[in-house]
Amino acid sequence: MDPRAVVESMLRPDLRGRTAYGAPQLDVPVALNTNENSYPVPDAVVAAMTRAVEEAARGLNRYPDREFVRLREALAGYLSRSGTTVSADQVWAGNGSNEVLLHLLQAFGGPGRTALGFTPAYSMHPIITTTTGTAWVDGMRGGADAGRFDLDADGTVAQVLEHRPDVVFLCSPNNPTGTALGLDVVEAVHDATGGLVVVDEAYAEFARPGTPSALTLLQGRPRLVVTRTMSKAFALAGGRLGYLAADPALADALRLVRMPYHLSTPTQAVALAALSYADLMLETVGVVKDQRDRIVDALTTMGLDPVPSDANFVLFGGLADSHETWRALLDRGVLVRDVGIPHYLRVTAGTPEETTAFLDALAALVPTHVGAAS
């Protein structure tokens, strides 16, 4: 018997026929498809990480600090720099923000429960939801008082009231659109549901001045969670460290579902070293934002339709065939992301040289690839 058929027959029915998450990992001159920070970790931080891991290696015969106390304190200190005080007992962390989201769904989702997100949004939200046996509902963006990729309070609350979810996912800035969310929407959704409200702020450090964070809403709202990551602004995608801020009671509940000693000693050491150099690690954020805005301006001049972005990427439309354009860019050594929205592609804001390579390649294609109304 075909082994694949045997395995398929044993799979949970809700997982049969599904495909795994997988952004292309191709060896190309210009990789701008996964919203990584194109700048390497600074030498001074590399040295600090190396010393920290070397010291930690001597104790690898012992389990890591299960409560990752120093790391939670450092993360709380970093978040508090924004002006909203966050304490260590409000912080939880995992191996990337995806594991943090998994913990939330393991604790507050599950069979018989429902999660609601608003498409298009982060593609891992429904995937992680499904793996926990939680039902997923695709909400929609837009509305009478919102643009195509925005959410307004009335339209969002109407969907919450219709589906009565146990978990609601909001993204600000949103992936793949780059659009930020007004706090009025977060407050309205929180007031409309008795369930968990998760605001995914993976790209918060790239937001334009004046863009509010849901961290300011945590006080007095024990059902509200704000997730962050060190993968983007901290240029630590390979370090796999995501975290959240919430009421201490909610953070404590996640201990019920985490694996024992889930954050390794080297992971904690690397993250602590990066946080001790936070200002240096974040120096490239301004440069990336400049390239993001440069992309928006240049694509507008080309006659395309970029979405104004508060993230480190730009979603742009106006393409006759988005997959054909994706392939043509790849043929020119530039890898961007086909996010499955007809006539749109997403490009990460990289170094000035990478941005130039992307814009030059796209400009050569525009005469024959533009053609769809946005």
pLDDT value at residue 148: 80
State both tokens at 171. 């993204």
CA distances from 191 to 142, 182, 221 (A): 20, 15, 10
- Same topology, domains 9-41+283-369 and 43-280? Answer is no
Q: Which helix (H) or strand (E) holds 192?
A: helix 183-192
Query: Sheet harboring 313-317: ordered strands across?
Result: 305-306, 313-317, 345-348
The pLDDT value given to residue 374: 46
pLDDT on residue 370: 83
The pairing of strands 196-200 and 167-171 is parallel
Q: Is 204 left (phi over 0), alpha (psi -120 to 50) or beta?
A: alpha
pLDDT at 142: 79
For tokens 């075909």, what's the residue? Answer: 2
Q: How many residues does the chain have?
A: 374
Name the token pair of 173: 């800035």
CATH architecture for residues 9-41+283-369: Alpha-Beta Complex (3.90)
Extents of the domains making up the chain: 9-41+283-369, 43-280
What long-range pairs does 9-14 form, CB within 8 A, spacing at least 24? 12/133, 14/130, 14/133
DSSP string, 140-156: E--BTTB-TT---HHHH
List of E strands, the chain = 30-31, 91-94, 114-119, 135-140, 167-171, 196-200, 224-229, 242-246, 305-306, 313-317, 334-335, 345-348
Give the pLDDT confidence score for residue 146 in this predicted structure.
56
Closest C-alpha among 370, 238, 228, 225 to residue 299? 370
The C-alpha atoms of residue 80 and residue 89 are separated, in whole angstroms, by: 13
Alpha helices in 193-231 (DSSP H): none
Give the per-residue pLDDT at 167: 98
Question: What are the backbone dihedrals phi and psi of residue 243, each rounded to the nearest 5 degrees, phi first?
Answer: -155, 170
Instruction: Write the single-letter amino acid at 202.
Output: A
Amino acid letter for position 148: R
Query: Residue 20: what pLDDT?
Result: 83
pLDDT score of 144 = 54
Name the nearest CA neighbour of 333 among 37, 40, 39, 33: 33
Q: Which fold has domain 43-280?
A: Aspartate Aminotransferase; domain 2 (3.40.640)
pLDDT by residue, tens only, the chain of 374 residues? 799 888 988 999 988 888 888 777 888 999 999 999 999 999 999 999 999 999 999 999 999 999 999 999 999 999 999 999 999 999 999 999 999 999 999 999 999 999 999 999 999 999 999 999 999 999 999 765 556 889 999 999 999 999 999 999 999 999 999 999 999 999 999 999 999 999 999 999 999 999 999 999 999 999 999 999 999 999 999 999 999 999 999 999 999 999 999 999 999 999 999 999 999 999 999 999 999 999 999 999 999 999 999 999 999 999 999 999 999 999 999 999 999 999 999 999 999 999 999 999 999 999 898 875 44
Are the C-beta atoms of residues 63 and 261 closer than 8 Å to each other? yes
Q: What is the pLDDT of residue 117?
A: 98
